[in-house]
Amino acid sequence: MMDIRFQAGGGERWKAEAVLAFFFEGEKVEQAAPVLEQAVPWLSIAPAWRDFRGKKGEMTVMYGPAAMDIPRVIALGLGDREKAGREDGLIALRHAVGGALRLCRDHGLESVAVEMSSLERIAPVYGFDGPGLAREIALAALLGLYRYERWLSVKKDSSSDPRWLAFLFREEHVNDAVREAARLAEAEAAGLCLARDLANGPANEVTPAFMASTAEELVSRFAEWGMSCHVLGPKELEERNMGAFLAVSRGSEREPRLVVLEYSPRGAEGKPLALVGKGITFDSGGISLKPSAGMAEMKGDMSGAAAVMGVFEALGRLAPGWTPPCPVVGLMPCTENMPGGRATRPGDIVVTMSGRSIEIVNTDAEGRLILADALTYAQKNWNPGGIVDIATLTGACAVALGKGNAGLFANDDTLADLLHAAGCRFGERNWRLPVWESSREILKSNVADMVNSGAREGGALHAAFFLSCFVEEGMRWAHLDIAAADTGESPVNVRGATGFGVRTLLDAVRSAQQWRLN
C-alpha cells in the first residue's frame, strides 16, 4: 500500500513528482493555491492554464522544468463552488483524487503531494476541517489505486504505483491532527481493501472456512492489543439450537462457520457494541433456485460479513494509539446457500435459537434466517449496549434506493441519525425506511410462528421486520440493507465490491459513547 508522508518547512523543503491542486470553477491559481504558486516558480506561467476552467471532473497536468523539486501540478476541477456543499460535491472531490492517482500510476510517478493550506481553504465548503479533508483525500488516493489481481496469471505492473503521498506544510512542524487523520485513513483503507478482497473473491476460495481463517489471521496480528476470535462449527451451532442458521447450510457440502471477533482493549468500558454481518459466501437461492442470469454476483452475498471483518482490521491498525469507548463484538454467520440433496425445502419448519419456529416458504430468503440466530446469540452471550447488522438482504431494497445506496432501519432514533449522518459524510449513503407492525400479518404462517418471506411489495421492510422479531425488548438495534450498495465502478472503486459499511460502522464504534448514553 502507498505510504502517507509529511513534509514541513515550506516550499524550499518540498519535493514530489506531482502536486494535486483543487479548483472551483473559474478560480485562478493565485486564489486557489497561493502558497503553492509561491513555492513553484514556473506554475503561474504554465501554458495549459489557458484552457483550464475548474469544471467538475476536469483534470489537467501543468508541466514545469523536469529538474524542479516540483515538476508537475495536477489541476483538478471541483465545479461550481455554490453547489459543492451539496451531497455529491464531496463525491466529485473523491473522484478527482482517485482519478489523479490513477493518472500518476499510468505515468509511473513515484510520489505525489497535497499542500495543506489549500485544503484548509476548501474544507469548510464540504463541512470538514483541514485534517478531516486530508483524511478524505488520503483515503480516496488509496482506494483509487486498489485493484483485485489475485487470479491474474500476469499481474498488472504494481511497481508503477506511486510509493507515497505527502501532505505539505508551510509551518516548521507537522500538524498532529493531520498525522492522526492520515493514520485513520490508512486504517480505513486497510479495512476497506480487506472487505473488497473478500467480496471480490470467488466462492470457491472465499468459503465459510476461509472467512474463519481470515479472522484468525487478523487476530494473530492484533492479539496483543486485546483482539480475539472464536469459531463455531456445525456441532457447536447444533448445541446452541441455531436451527435457522443450520437450515440454510444443509444444502451445501461446505460446513458453516459462525465467526466471532472480539475487541476489548484496556480502556474500553461497559456493554459492547455488536456488529453482525451476513456471510452467505454463495447464494444460489437453494431449492428456490435463482435464475442463472446474474447468479455469479451472489459470490458477494457475504459483503456484510466482509464489512464487519474490515472494521476489525481498521480497529487493529488503530491500536494501541486509539481505543474505542466500549468493547466491540463482530459476528459473522458464514455459509453457502445451495440446493443439495439434504437442502432445506420450501415448507420445512425450523426452530431458531430464540425458540421461535419458522416455516421456510422460500429458501432464497436465507439471509434473515442466519441473522436471526446470530442476533439471538449476540444478545444471549454479550448483552450488548446496541446492535448494528449489515446485510445484502433484499433485491427490493436495491430496487427502491438504487446502486450505491443502503436502506437503514432502526428502533432507535439516536442510533439511526448517527448512522445516517456518518453514511452521508463518509460516502456510504443510506436512507431510513420504516419497521412497521403491519409486516406481522404478511409474515403469518398457519403452521409455525412465522414464515420467512411474504409479499414482494415492501420486501425490504418485511425482511427488516423479520429481523426485528429477534431483537429483544429494549435492545437498541439498527439494520443496514446493502444489497445494492456493495458493487460499483468509479475512480475510487475498480469494478466490483466497494467495501460499503466499513466507514459507517467504524464511525458508529468511534461515537458509541453518544448513542449509548442518550
Residues forming contacts to ligand BES in the complex (CB under 6 A) are 283, 301, 362, 364-367, 392-396, 398, 453, 459, 483
Q: Which is nearer to ligand BES, 2 or 398 (CB)?
A: 398
DSSP class of 297: G
Inter-CA distances, 230 with 160, 215, 236, 433, 466, Å:
40, 9, 11, 34, 27
Task: Compute the least distance from the CB of residue 320 to ligand BES, in Å.
Answer: 37
Task: Compute the least distance from the CB of residue 395 to ligand BES, in Å.
Answer: 3
Task: Compute the least distance from the CB of residue 459 to ligand BES, in Å.
Answer: 5
Task: State which H helix or E strand residue 238 sits in.
Answer: helix 234-239
Task: Compute the least distance from the CB of residue 290 to Mn ion, in Å.
Answer: 7
Could you tell me which stretch among 127-135, 269-277, 367-375, 510-518 binds Zn ion (CB under 5 A)?
367-375
State which of positions 410-449 bind Mn ion (CB under 5 A).
none
Q: Is 364 in the site for Mn ion (CB under 5 A)?
A: yes
Instruction: Spell out, one character per residue from 273 to 312, where the chain touches Mn ion: x when CB under 5 A holds, - when not.
Output: ----------x-----------------------------
> Please, are residues 40 and 12 in contact by the beta-carbon 8 Å criterion?
no
Q: What gap in Å lies between CA 217 and CA 83, rounded to an integer?
A: 45
Q: Which is nearer to Mn ion, 352 or 453 (CB)?
A: 453
Instruction: Spell out, one character per residue from 280 to 319, where the chain touches Zn ion: x when CB under 5 A holds, - when not.
Output: x--x-----------------x------------------
Give strand pairing partners of 496: 488
Q: Which is nearer to ligand BES, 15 or 290 (CB)?
A: 290
Q: How far apart are the first and last CA of the chain?
A: 39
Grid coordinates belonging to 312? 476489525
Task: Compute the least distance from the CB of residue 366 to Zn ion, in Å.
Answer: 6
**What positions carry a catalytic annotation?**
290, 368
Within 10 Å of residue 140's Cβ, how many Cβ atoms?
26
Q: Which is nearer to ligand BES, 461 or 506 (CB)?
A: 461
Q: How many residues at the interface with Zn ion, by CB under 5 A?
A: 4
Going by DSSP bridges, is the β-strand pair 477-481/386-391 parallel, antiparallel, or unpaired? parallel
3-state secondary structure of 14: coil
Going by DSSP bridges, is the β-strand pair 59-63/493-497 parallel, antiparallel, or unpaired? unpaired
Q: Whose CA is closest to 390, among 479, 306, 272, 459?
A: 479
The one of ligand BES, Mn ion, Zn ion, none whose footprint includes residue 93, by CB under 5 to 8 A per kind, is none
Q: What gap in Å lies between CA 295 and CA 504, rounded to an integer?
A: 28
Q: Which is nearer to Mn ion, 265 or 300 (CB)?
A: 300
Q: Is 373 in the site for Mn ion (CB under 5 A)?
A: no
The DSSP code sequence of 397-426 is: HHHHH-TT-EEEEES-HHHHHHHHHHHHHT
Point out which residues bind Mn ion (CB under 5 A).
283, 364, 366
